[in-house]
């Protein structure tokens, strides 16, 4: 792992890994929790993650698609760094007002690169890619800050979606030692 990624992983791990007693979505209890919103709420860490994402963007990217909720702040900073427009993709379309799935600029007939904070199974990215494709966008890549998927859990390749990450959960764990 490059030294700059190791240093970033150590900073994110120190900021986001907290100790205590936490109930996970599964119902199990753990004494360690990774609070991803802590790096997204820290302007220096957020910018460093975004800066590492910029070279990972496919050359044909025309629009950044920040996935609700964690991908939105990252997409906003990547947009500011690159000058690429961004959209903010909801988990489901609003049922009022414009009733849109994605807020922001135009994306139909354009190549949208999805931006996500953490990918575990890829479910949110899969749903967003399919929905945006149905709205005439081309979506072939998701760039994430942290890929914590386990082998065979991330099945995005099955729908023609590549996953590119700044770091993995293994990188975060290695940075702790």
pLDDT at residue 120 in the model: 86
CA distance 148 to 173: 11
Give me the chain's average pLDDT, please: 93
The 10 Å Cβ neighbour count of residue 7 is 13
The 10 Å Cβ neighbour count of residue 76 is 17
Residue whose pair of structure tokens reads 């099945």 in the numeric block: 155
121-168 confidence digits (pLDDT tens): 899 999 999 999 999 999 999 999 999 887 777 889 999 999 999 999
CA distance 142 to 76: 15
If pLDDT is split at 50, 70 and 90, which confidence band does 177 have? low
Domain limits, the chain: 46-167
Q: Which residues of 79-111 are buried (b: 16+ CB within 10 A; e: fewer)?
A: beeeebebbbbbeeeeeeeeeebbebeebeebb
120, two tokens: 């575990």
97-113 confidence digits (pLDDT tens): 877 899 999 999 999 99
- pLDDT at residue 6 greater than cutoff 80: yes
Q: Which CATH architecture has domain 46-167?
A: 3-Layer(aba) Sandwich (3.40)
CA distance 138 to 19: 41
């Amino acid at each position: 792992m490059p030294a700059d990624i190791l240093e970033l992983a150590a900073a994110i791990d120190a900021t986001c890994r907290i100790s205590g007693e936490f109930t996970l979505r599964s119902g199990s209890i753990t004494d360690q929790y990774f609070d991803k919103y802590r790096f997204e709420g820290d302007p220096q860490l957020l910018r460093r993650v975004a800066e590492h994402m910029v070279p990972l963007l496919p050359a044909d990217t025309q629009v950044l698609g920040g996935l609700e909720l964690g991908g939105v702040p990252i997409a906003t900073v990547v947009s500011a760094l690159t000058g690429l427009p961004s959209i903010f993709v909801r988990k489901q379309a609003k049922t009022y007002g414009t009733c849109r799935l994605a807020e922001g600029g135009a994306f139909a007939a354009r190549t949208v690169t999805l931006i996500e904070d953490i990918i575990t199974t890829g479910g949110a990215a899969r749903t967003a890619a399919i929905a945006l494709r149905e709205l005439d966008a081309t979506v072939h890549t998701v760039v994430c800050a942290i890929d914590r998927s386990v082998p065979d859990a991330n099945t995005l390749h099955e729908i023609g979606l590549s996953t590119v990450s700044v770091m993995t959960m293994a990188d975060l764990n290695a940075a702790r030692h």
